[in-house]
């Protein structure tokens, strides 16, 4: 394993070897009425991924659970929260949270960001221990209950219209152009990759890779094949990335080997990488199934079972239903 060429050969052989065996259509354990992947101890979790811990009645959820109930279109949510809609990072016994981001120990929160231990907020930012606020302005309970319906009506009649002509009325999440980062800079690009043209057509912003001014001091062909032949001076080199900055993985074009990384590679007897950290990260992601479900039939001869799976129809894996998979691996 100390040789880069031998390691690449082994990876190729292993990937070919594992394709000879059936794969379970999805990893769903003790979760009746659920579809998606990587779901444990849930009930009625539909089109959900990475769910754990007594979650119930969810739809379109990712990295959620731990007592989450009655939630739809959520990301990073749980810890006994309930009635959550179109929101991210909702934790610690929240209730009736919608169209918001980073909320904990709160209830009745709408279009708000980073608010905690509060209730009845509309369009607020960075509040703690507050109630009946609109755009961070304090109101009485009566004033709040009278004004919020008027705001909703106004948002429905006079929606925000973005550059592509999409209308954002009350009930839709914040427009993407208001985000502090472009689509290409977020992890959305990892799970739902888009080209620059596709991103701009959807109204998302895009940031091209910055031009680098460094000079590469070690070309790919000069990198030692074995870690045994690597000298300490490698930490002073600017190593060429095999993608040469010509990919959609935010490639840096070059990278350095730190002393700690070199020490680790020597200890584990692994060769030097040929890709920059960004490209290495995306290279690992391709081994994970997408967050998209396909309706398929079991590939075991004679089986008529059908299911929803994250294995695309054109994938090379052999995909079995739960029953056939259990029989095959028993």
Give 6-43 pLDDT, tens digit per residue: 999 999 999 999 999 999 999 999 999 999 999 999 99
Give the model's confidence band at 46: pLDDT under 50 very low, under 70 low, under 90 confident, else very high.
very high
**Would you say residue 214 lies in a domain?**
no
Indicate whether 169 belongs to any domain: no
In a domain, 101, yes or no: yes
Where b means 16+ CB within 10 Å and e means fewer, 6-36 reads: eeeeeeeeeeeeeeeebbbbbebeebeebbb
Span 176-203, average pLDDT:
88
9: helix, strand or coil: helix
**Which pLDDT score is estimated for 118?**
98
User: Is residue 268 in some structural domain?
Assistant: yes
CB 204 within 8 A of CB 257: no
Residue 306 lies in a domain: yes
- Structure confidence at residue 212 as a pLDDT band (50, 70, 90): confident
Q: Scanning the structure block, which residue is given the tokens 């949510």?
A: 77
- Indicate if 52 and 149 belong to the same structural domain: yes
Q: Render pLDDT for 92-101 as a digit per residue (tens, 0 to 9).
A: 999 999 999 9
What pLDDT does 163 receive?
81
Looking at the structure, tell me whether residues 228 and 247 fall in a common domain.
Answer: yes
What mean pLDDT, rounded, does the chain reach? 94
Total domains present in the chain:
4
Residue 213 lies in a domain: no
Do the Cβ atoms of 218 and 240 come closer than 8 Å? yes
Q: Are 67 and 123 part of one and the same domain?
A: yes
Q: What is the mean pLDDT of residues 304-311?
A: 97
Residues 232 and 258 in one domain: yes
DSSP, collapsed to helix, strand or coil, labels residue 27 as coil
Which residues are CB-neighbours of 209 under 8 A, at least 6 positions away? Answer: 245, 250, 251, 252
How far, in Å, CA of 99 to CA of 107, rounded? 13
Q: What residues are paired with 51 via a beta bridge?
A: 39, 64
User: Residues 17, 82: one domain?
Assistant: no
pLDDT per position as a tens digit, 222-270: 999 999 999 999 999 999 999 988 887 888 899 999 999 999 999 999 9
Helix (H, G, I), strand (E, B) or coil at 144: helix
- How far is the C-alpha of 155 from the C-alpha of 99, rounded, in Å? 14
| 46: in domain | yes
Looking at the fold, whether 38 and 74 belong to one and the same domain comes out as: yes
In a domain, 173, yes or no: no
Do 270 and 309 lie in a common domain? no
Same domain, 129 and 44: yes
For the stretch 145-171, pLDDT in tens is 999 999 999 999 999 998 888 899 999
One domain, residues 40 and 152: yes
Query: Are residues 43 and 108 both part of a single domain?
Result: yes
Same domain, 239 and 300: no
Question: 89 with 76: CB under 8 angstroms?
Answer: yes
Q: Whole domain around residue 240: which residue ranges? A: 220-285
Residues 263 and 197 in one domain: no
pTM above 0.85, yes or no: yes
Pair of tokens at residue 266: 């020597």
- What is each CA distance from 191 to 51, 155, 285, 290, in whole angstroms? 17, 31, 8, 7
């Amino acid at each position: 394993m100390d040789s880069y060429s031998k390691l690449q050969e082994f990876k190729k052989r292993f990937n070919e070897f594992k394709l000879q065996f059936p794969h379970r259509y999805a990893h769903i354990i003790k979760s009746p009425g659920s579809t998606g992947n990587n779901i444990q101890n849930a009930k009625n979790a539909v089109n959900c991924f990475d769910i754990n811990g007594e979650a119930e009645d969810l739809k379109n959820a990712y990295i959620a659970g731990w007592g989450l109930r009655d939630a739809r279109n959520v990301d990073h949510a749980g810890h006994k929260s309930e009635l959550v809609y179109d929101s991210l990072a909702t934790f610690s016994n929240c209730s009736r949270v919608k169209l918001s981001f980073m909320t904990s120990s709160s209830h009745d929160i709408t279009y708000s960001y980073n608010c905690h231990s509060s209730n009845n907020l509309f369009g607020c930012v960075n509040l703690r221990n507050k109630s009946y606020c609109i755009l961070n302005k304090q109101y009485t309970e009566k004033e709040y209950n009278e004004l919020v319906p008027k705001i909703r009506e106004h948002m429905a009649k006079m929606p925000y219209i973005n550059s592509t002509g999409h209308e954002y009325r009350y009930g839709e999440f914040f427009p993407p152009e208001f985000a502090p980062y472009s689509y290409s800079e977020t992890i959305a690009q990892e799970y739902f990759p888009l080209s620059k043209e596709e991103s701009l057509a959807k109204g998302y912003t895009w940031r091209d890779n910055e031009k680098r001014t460094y000079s590469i001091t070690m070309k790919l062909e000069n990198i030692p094949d074995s870690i045994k032949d690597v000298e300490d001076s490698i930490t002073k080199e600017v190593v060429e990335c095999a993608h040469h900055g010509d990919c959609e993985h935010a490639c840096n074009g070059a990278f350095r080997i730190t002393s700690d990384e070199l020490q680790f590679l020597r200890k584990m007897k692994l060769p030097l990488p040929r890709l920059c950290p960004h490209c290495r990260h995306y290279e690992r992601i391709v081994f994970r199934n997408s967050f998209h479900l396909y309706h398929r039939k079991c590939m075991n001869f004679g089986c008529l079972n059908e299911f929803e799976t994250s294995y695309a129809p054109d994938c090379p894996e052999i995909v079995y239903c739960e029953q056939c998979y259990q029989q095959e691996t028993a």
